[in-house]
Chains A and B, each alone.
Chain A
Amino acid sequence: MKHTFNIIGAALFSTLFYKQDLGLNLSLFSLLTILILAINRKDAFSNRVVIIKSLAYLVTGIAVFFYKSNLAITANVVSFFILVGSISEHKASIYVNWLNGCYTTIAAFFHRCYEQFHRKEDTGTKRKIDYIHWLKIIGIPMVVLIIFISLYKNGNPMFNDLISQIDFSFINLQWLLFGLLGYYLLNNISAPIAVYPITALDLSTENTLHKVKEVTAKKLDGEKQLGVVLMSLLNTLITFFLITDVVYVIQQDNLNAMELSNQVHSGVNALIASIVFAIVIILYFFRANLNFYKGNAILKRLTYLWIALNVLLVVVIAFKNYQYIHSFGITYKRIGVNIYLLLTSIGLLTTLIKVYSIKNLWYLLRVNIQTAFVVLIVASLFNWDRVITHYNLNYAKAADMEYLIGLSNNNTFLLKSYSDNNGFNSGDMNKINDKYYDYLRVLSDNSWQEMQYDNITIKE
């Protein structure tokens, strides 16, 4: 039964992807993958985490149909691996899920070959298949037959005519080969496997920190004193930096593009260094027994203050970035800065939780990577080209038309309707018209597998 589903799936795989660009096919493949996984591992789908990851995978597949952005395709591929990995072991961390998913997709067939051999050996029910014998019986006669046919064809014109009339052109061998690849892929994911020993190690690693061994109170006190001095100095420094930064932003009413750009970029660089230092220092001091030391209250308070001031730094940079966007429009880089600021804020929050609830490094790694995955999925659901174009044309003080025209086809209809209603200079109008008609041509050339949401919109 399992093989029947895989064979049907392989035929569908070949039909969907053979010599096709991405579009509706990736959405349908997402559905097919979930079906195959659900058929083969019904038990795994009773778990809430697996259901959520399946939905995330399906949603990114649908996003590819709607926008076909690189981000949506990346999110779809990443969530595919994570879903497959979470079926092999749903309790594992997200990065281990990803590794398990990669391994299952790439080489589960060979892993199972190895396991089957050893299982048979252990149970003593080994039924050895003589592959060499089968290869001899089928392969050698076939090769010899073909060689002789090609020799006889040259020796007898009538035989040559008869052989030439046999037409196998209706069989597309590449299509079959592609189907075979699809079968290999579906067969691999039908029974996901876990990588040893990393999965077992991950499952046995807790999020909570434990007292490792007895350390003298004197040594801990010395460490605490160092921490208090360092944190106090760093807090003073970041406060001074923030005051000067805020005063500078308030005093400068009309910064030009170059100045604002420098402000945002240097601010982000400062933030990167500051956050990395903050987390490294916090991890160093709260790596072990100082967490359980009774006299650590001051150090903990200074650490919370340090984290809060870093969050304030994020807010100041976000404000500068907003000013920059308001004046000169949104670009991918400016969206990237916002996403980075969001991830940084979450990173700081999880570091605070780590110190407050006495968690270990693995907790930080697990939660932050999981957050990054959620951000990736959510970000892939937006048509960013359309968002950028809409904002820049309607709200930004100045719009860079070259940049907007250079974006992907996802903003073509919006640009066209805006140019028809409001008009641009003739150069831009021509470029927009070229982009529009080129896109219509691309859409009309799309096969049903490559279909996008815009195919439906143009029909309407």
Chain B
Amino acid sequence: MKIGNTAIKATLMATVIFWFVLFTEEYSDSMFFWIIPSIIPIFLCCLLAIIFTVCPFFWFSEDSLGNSGIFKRYFPYYAIAVFCVCAFAIWKFNCEVFAIGFFSSAFFTLMQTWVWNSKNDANENL
């Protein structure tokens, strides 16, 4: 599993979703200057989320399953659990735009991370 590579792609995706959601609420030119600095905390969040919630499935599963088998077996339950956590958090923060941006970007990015990982496995086998 290429954690660094996946984390960079995830950061790019999360940044786009997060800022897009924020721009829909209120747009000002000054917000653009915050995009670049925001990449650092977003990268840290992505890296930690991937290491602590996605990687353990790939590290501690049976080797015979392969990334593709791990995806089929665990992804459905992971997706439902992450959705519940994110939906609960958004509701807990009274559906504030910042919370919607943060948790929706977390949800979609983590889902895509699983797809990238299963693709990595296939590419490595080529």
Which residues on A are within 8 Å of B, measured CB to CB? 99, 102-103, 106-107, 110-111, 113-114, 117-118, 121, 135, 139, 143, 146-147, 150, 153, 173-174, 176-177, 195-197
Q: Are the CB atoms of B25 and A174 closer together than 8 Å?
A: yes
- B29: chain A residues at CB < 8 Å are 150, 153
Please tell me the size bucket of the interface on B. 20 to 34
Q: Are the CB atoms of A110 and B111 closer together than 8 Å?
A: yes
B112 within 8 A of A: yes
Q: Are the CB atoms of B24 and A103 closer together than 8 Å?
A: no
- B122: chain A residues at CB < 8 Å are 117-118, 121
Chain A contact residues: helix, strand, loop or mixed: helix
Which residues on B are within 8 Å of A, measured CB to CB? 12, 16, 20-21, 23-25, 29, 32, 35, 68, 71-73, 75-76, 79-80, 83, 111-112, 114-115, 118-119, 122
Q: Which 7 A-B pairs have the closest CB atoms?
A: A107-B79, A173-B24, A150-B29, A195-B76, A110-B111, A103-B76, A174-B24
Chain B contact residues: helix, strand, loop or mixed: helix
Q: Are the CB atoms of A150 and B32 closer together than 8 Å?
A: yes
Contact partner, A111, options B24, B35, B75, B119, Cβ 8 Å: B75
- A117: chain B residues at CB < 8 Å are 115, 118-119, 122
Once the chains are docked, how many angstroms separate the CA of A139 from the CA of B35?
Answer: 13
- B16: chain A residues at CB < 8 Å are 139
Given A99-B76, A107-B80, A107-B111, 13 additional A-B pairs, CB 8 A: A103-B80, A106-B79, A106-B83, A107-B76, A110-B112, A111-B75, A117-B118, A121-B122, A139-B16, A147-B32, A150-B32, A173-B24, A197-B73
Q: Are the CB atoms of B71 and A114 closer together than 8 Å?
A: yes
Q: Are the CB atoms of A110 and B25 closer together than 8 Å?
A: no
A107-B76, A118-B122, A150-B29 as given contacts; A113 in contact with B115, CB under 8 Å = yes
A107-B111, A117-B119 as given contacts; A177 in contact with B24, CB under 8 Å = yes
Q: Are the CB atoms of B83 and A107 closer together than 8 Å?
A: yes
Once the chains are docked, how many angstroms separate the CA of A117 from the CA of B120?
Answer: 11
23 pairs, CB–CB < 8 Å, chain A vs chain B: A106-B80, A106-B83, A107-B75, A107-B76, A107-B80, A107-B83, A107-B111, A110-B75, A111-B75, A113-B112, A114-B75, A114-B114, A114-B118, A117-B118, A118-B68, A118-B122, A150-B32, A177-B20, A177-B21, A177-B24, A195-B76, A196-B73, A197-B73
